[in-house]
Amino acid sequence: MNDKTSASEPVEPEPVAAQPAPEMATPPKPPVNKSTVAIDQIDAIVGGYHGAPFDVLGPHVTQVKGKDTFVIRAFRPLDEKVLVLDIATGKRTEMEMVHPGGFFEAVFSRRKVPFAYRLIVEDGEGHDYELEDPYRFTDWLLTDFDIYLHGEGTFVNSYEKFGAHFRDVDGVRGVTFAVWAPNALRVSVIGPFNAWDDRVSVMQQRNENSGIWEIFLPNLPEGVHYKYSIKSKLMGYQVDKADPYGFYAEMRPTTDSRVWDINKYAWGDSEWMAQRKELQAPDRPINIYEVHLGSWMRVPDTNGFLSYRDLAVRLVEYVKEIGFTHIELLPITEHPFDGSWGYQVTGYYAPTSRFGSPDDFMFFMDHCHQNGIGVILDWVPAHFPRDAHGLGFFDGTHLYEHSDPRQGEHRDWGTKIFNYGRNEVCNFLLSNAVFWCKQYHMDGLRVDAVASLLYLDYSRKAGEWVPNKYGGRENLDAIDFIRRFNELVHEEAPGAITIAEESTSWPMVSRPTYMGGLGFDFKWNMGWMHDMLSYMEKDPIYRRYHQNQVTFSLIYAFHENFILPFSHDEVVHLKRSMVDKMPGDVWQKYANLRALYTYMYGHPGKKLLFMGSEFGQWSEWSEARSLDWHLLQWEDHQKMQRFVRDLSRLYAYEPALYEVDGSWEGFQWIDFADADSSIISFLRRGKDPADVMVFVCNFTPVSRQGYRVGLPAEGFFAETLNSDWELYGGSGVNNNGGVWAELLPWQSCQYSATINVPPLGCVVLKLQR
């Protein structure tokens, strides 16, 4: 640029000498398509991105030179040679490889009608194999009505069609696979049967709107490993996923699903199932032993897991001996991380393979029932983990979870939240609940973390949650889901019970949905548990100032059908074991614990005790090792275990302790005002008003001799249990078998008697008729 030019003025270019025109290159000839199908269709098959392989592969009648002609196409990328075997005639016809990627075709110009056939393949080493062509089987397992119900969210038995199912099609035994992945470009089943090649066993999308993919793979054996290879429509995302409906999962750290026939087990629990509704009614004793199967007991030398079958024999024998009526299992659904205790589920339909096969778990359930023990499963519909093989980002989109992290993530737990506003997601969970109750004869489901379902702002700060359409904090979709869950379980599995682990004051949790409730049968009484542990952990000298912590629960005790829980959550994370929570020296610790348990079994509500708490384990629970069974060589632990056994048997034997748990007719305070002595007294009644038991509890280490207590009737009150009896490790303060009531009004009663109240102990009296 010089002084006479500017940036805005064009500069005239220098003249350029003319150049000869270049010679035009000859364009390459397109490859000759020898097939009867378009080359782009073949490329999609070979490239592994064709979403409708049945439109191309298998038998077809097509137009060749204006005539209907029968053709068979196959994609065999690892085979050198492929032949068609006519099953009826035995004639073999070699297929032509029309694409070097392994696309074969045979044209039968003289035949216009499809015929039954098999393929004979020859690998690179010259070995011949005869096999069925999966693309000749179009007898779909899922009907159009099934697909409609799934989209509507009402396909409650969807586990009967989704996942992997053995069936016979045209006389051929095989497995039908079905999965929901609406945003997938292509879904295929991969496994050792196809060298894990995601191009070989590509599934057919049943229709464009459903997002359901299905295929029948012949001659697969039981136990074979598989996954779904998903190529998404979005972002080029591709991933291998375990089957959401998989019935059997590989042992961690591997993450494959396994084909399994869950319908072949022969059950022997018909008597239990017929009586279950009566045995689990609100007016029956329910005394639950909460168990983590991986750490209840282990193989001593190796610290290895016991099998489901070993656990069935040992655990059931123990539970019967101690007097529990039910076992509640921490989640046994498949989970990759032992430290999650089972609460981060990747296989919702698979009992964990840590302890054996699905058949082995059925044996466990069957053995429990044949011995009169009910089983409750800890069920986790509130969240799921981020593991790559699990439900998260399943088809390249937020399919099962919310995309907005304010709705779709539990940051405290590092997990994802289900999208309860999506019909298909609710269908997955509802079907799962029905599955465990019907397929495995589960007697109840305890729903984990219900509060996190109910509230949009659960464990969130301002700005970290999205209000509902009315501006409130209630999760309306989740509430609808919970109600539907309870209705469905009670409808599909009569006699099965549902239990809410719910820690807030949400009303009517255990009231029917037609009354406006959530529909659960029972609710954990978390308030009672926290108050009582807080009270018992205090030095007895200060308890006089906190009497309200013992009595407050009776203000709301009959608002719900409660279970009183001392669960696994109370003996981990530096909270200390149950016996170690108690104050004082060793003797006082055991005495405090016995008094607490006696009050618990006298208080209205069903009972739950975590394993190890019944014999006074000193160390906190760890999922990585067995309970400290060796402690039972010591007398203190033997006596504690005997006490819990006798207390459990008393509870199961005395109708006054369980028949009227839900109303004031079954409970009456005698006296709760003696805070200076830290003594309370109350009575329990059965349906028969004359069936009366009296509890007197002393929460100080001072024995009260000649302590007068009001009694509801005249007559003899037998001392049926005393937590201070010497056979339980107590000091031996007792009442020589019982006391006679005299006509002396006292406290709230017309009659009374003087009794000896033991230190840190409870006396249980029963009116003799």
Residues labelled catalytic? 448, 501
Distances (CA, A) of 656 to 274, 334, 362, 666: 26, 41, 35, 7
Sign (positive/negative) of CA torsion 491, 493, 495, 496?
negative
DSSP state string for 343-386: -S-SEEEEE-GGG--HHHHHHHHHHHHHTT-EEEEEE--S-B--
Count Cβ atoms below 10 Å from residue 369 Cβ, excluding itself. 23
Distance between CA 632 and CA 435 in Å, rounded?
39
Closest CA to 525 of 425, 583, 603, 589: 603
Cβ pair 735, 722 in contact under 8 A: yes
Segment holding 619, helix H or strand E: none
Closest CA to 652 of 382, 367, 321, 395: 321
Sign (positive/negative) of CA torsion 521, 502, 570, 681?
negative
Distance of alpha carbon 449 from the chain centroid? 12
Cβ pair 697, 764 in contact under 8 A: no
**What interhelical angle do 526-536 and 586-602 show, nearest 10?**
150
Q: Is 123 left (phi over 0), alpha (psi -120 to 50) or beta?
A: beta
Cβ pair 463, 516 in contact under 8 A: no
How would you write 668-691 as a 3-class SS string?
A: EEEECCCCCCCEEEEEEECCCCCC
Distance between CA 621 and CA 579 in Å, rounded?
12
Residue 557's Cβ-side half-sphere holds a number of Cα atoms within 13 Å equal to: 25
